[in-house]
């Protein structure tokens, strides 16, 4: 299994994509804008489950460093309506 703490990341800002998974695409969009809005996120719908019960949204932003990336990940993951963040 890959150990995330050993990943090499640049020492300067770099683009990073988050995939939010939930059951309401509009709620996922609201969360992305609420948490990432000051970073001009590039947001687009992702996949939906065959039954339509689950959907995903992809959001790409520029993060300052690994700590910033993990902080945003945590803030996204704790939002109501977000089942998983990848």
Q: How far apart, in Å, are the Cα atoms of 66 and each of 7, 34, 43, 62?
A: 9, 21, 21, 11
pLDDT for res 9: 61
**Domains of the chain, start order:** 13-85 (3.30.70.260)
Q: Which residues contact 66 (CB under 8 A, 6 or more apart)?
A: 7, 9
pLDDT for res 5: 59
- Its pTM stands at 0.85
pLDDT for res 12: 85
Residue-by-residue pLDDT tens, the chain, 86 positions: 555 556 666 678 999 999 999 999 999 999 999 999 999 999 999 999 999 999 999 999 999 999 999 999 999 999 999 999 99
């Amino acid at each position: 299994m890959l150990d995330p703490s050993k990943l090499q990341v640049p020492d300067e800002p770099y683009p990073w994509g988050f995939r939010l998974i939930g059951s309401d695409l509009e709620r996922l969009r609201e969360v992305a804008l609420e948490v990432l809005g000051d970073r001009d996120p590039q947001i687009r719908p992702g996949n939906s489950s065959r039954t339509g019960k689950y959907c995903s949204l992809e959001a790409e932003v520029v993060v300052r460093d690994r700590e910033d990336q993990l902080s945003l990940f945590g803030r996204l993951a704790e939002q109501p309506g977000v089942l998983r963040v990848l």
